[in-house]
Amino acid sequence: MNRAFITGITGQDGSYLTEFLLDKGYEVHGLVRRSSTLNRSRIDHLAGNDRLHLHYGDLTDGVGLVNLVRSIEPTEVYNLGAQSHVKVSFEMPDYTASTNSIGTLRLLEAIRASGMSCKFYQASTSEMFGSTPPPQNEDTTFHPRSPYGASKLQAHWVTINYREAYGLFAVSGILFNHESPRRGENFVTRKITRGVAAIRAGLTDTLELGNLDATRDWGYAPEYVVGMWQMLQADEPDDYVLATGEGHSVRAFCEAAFSHAGLNWQDHVVHNDMYERPSEVDALLGDATKARTHLGWEAKTTALDLARLMVDSDSAELEMSLKK
C-alpha cells in the first residue's frame, strides 16, 4: 500500500493533499504539533477515516522525526511544514530557520539514516527568487529578500544535495503563491476577502493593508497539491515550478474582490505601515512550461476567479456564524 507521511498536514496545502491522497487509496500519516487547544480545523472533516493517522511531532525535534520515519515506513514524504509567513520571519528569524532549513535537513537525515527508499517532496517557494525580475523558472537566479526566503533556499539546496549525494528520490516544487478558502487569515488574499465579507455585512468599514504595488502569481491550492504528487510519480527526480503565468498587483486583487461584492475598494482600504516589510519582493510571475511539458500539469483557476470564490466562501461563512 502507498503510505504518505505529511508534515504541515494541518495547513492549507496539507489538508488538500490529504484529501487527494486518501481519495487515491493512500494510507496517510500526518505530523501535528502539540498546542494547548486543538488546531485541526482544516482536517476535522477527515477524522474517522481509518486510513488517516496523526502523530505528535515537530520539525525542530530531530529525534522524534527519526522515530516517526522508522515506525511509519512511508513510501512518500511530503515536507509541507514551515513557519510560512514572510513578515513573521523578520520577527522570528531564528525559529524560521530552525523549522524551515534545519527541519528539512533533520527530516532528510531521518530518511537517509533509516535506509528506506521512500520518495521526498520539499515545499520550495517562489520567494527564493526574491528580487530577480520575472518571469521566473527553474533556471532563474535566486535572490531571497527575507529570512523566510533564505531559509527555504537552504532547504531547497539540501534537498538537491541529498538527491546527488545519496541517490534519494528527492524533489522540490517551486510553488508560486496559491490560495483558497482555507488560506491562513493573515495572508493578503484571505485578509482581503474576509475584509470584504465583514464590510458587506456592516461589521466594519475599513481594511488596513500594506504595500499594494507588489505583484504576485496567485493560483488555486487544490490544483497545486496534484502537481506535488505528480512530481513524485515522475520517472526521475527533478525540480519544477508551479504557477499560473499571470501576475496581478495586490491592488488589482482588492479591486476584483470588492467589486464582486458591489463595493469600491478605494472607499474602504486604508494604508498601515505596520504591514510593510523591511525588504519586499516586488514582482513574482512564474513560467511553468517544464511542469506542463514533463508532468502534464497546468493551472486552471486565475487570480480573479480566486478573488470571487474566496469572497463568496468568506461571506457564506460569516453569514452562518452570524446566524449562530
Check binding of 31 to ligand NAP (CB under 6 A): yes
Note whether 246 binds ligand G4F by CB under 6 A.
no
133: Cβ contacts below 8 Å, ≥ 6 apart: 283
Alpha-carbon span 248 to 213, nearest angstrom: 9
The dihedral built from the CA positions of residue 195, 198, 200 and 203, taken in this order, carries a sign that is negative
Given 125, 159, 215, 244, the catalytic residue: 125
Active-site residue, 125 included: yes
Count of residues that interact with ligand NAP, criterion CB under 6 A: 25
| Partner that binds at residue 83, options ligand NAP, ligand G4F, none, CB closer than 5 to 8 Å by kind | ligand NAP
244 is catalytic: no
Q: Coil, strand or helix: which one is 76?
A: strand
How far are the Cα atoms of 10, 14, 189 from residue 28, in angstroms, in the given order?
13, 11, 29
Task: Give the span between the Cα atoms of 277 and 90, in whole angstroms.
Answer: 8
Q: Which of 26, 78, 121, 148 is catalytic?
A: 148
Q: What x-and-dash track marks residues 104-143 binding ligand G4F by CB under 6 A?
A: ---------------------xxx----------------
Binding partner of residue 244 among ligand G4F, ligand NAP, none, CB under 5 to 8 Å per kind? none
> Residue 240: which H helix or E strand, with range?
strand 240-242
Q: Which of 21, 80, 232, 306 lies at the binding interface for ligand NAP (CB under 6 A)?
A: 80
Whose Cβ is closer to ligand NAP: residue 12's or residue 315's? 12
- Measured from the CB atom, is 196 or 306 closer to ligand NAP? 306
Binding mask 252-291 for ligand G4F (x = CB under 6 A): -----------------------x-x--x---x-------
Contacts of 118 (CB under 8 A, 6+ apart): 5, 73, 74, 75, 76, 77, 111, 169
Binding residue for ligand NAP, selected from 81, 130, 227, 237, defined by CB under 6 A: 81
- Part of the chain binding ligand NAP (CB under 6 A), chosen from 48-56, 161-169, 175-183, 192-200: 175-183
CB-CB contact of 152 with 125 (8 Å): yes
Q: Which of 4, 69, 175, 269 binds ligand NAP (CB under 6 A)?
A: 175
166 flagged as catalytic: no
Residues 249 and 241: their CA atoms lie apart, in Å, by: 20
What are the start-end ranges of the E strands in 69-136?
76-79, 119-125
What phi and psi, each to the nearest 5 degrees, are found at residue 301?
-90, 130
List C-alpha distances in Å: 141 to 97, 136, 138, 286.
21, 8, 9, 13
* Among ligand NAP, ligand G4F, none, residue 284 binds (CB under 5-8 Å by kind): ligand G4F
Binding site for ligand G4F (CB under 6 A): 84, 86-87, 125-127, 176-177, 186-188, 191, 209-211, 214, 216, 250, 275, 277, 280, 284
Which residues are marked as active site?
A: 125, 127, 148
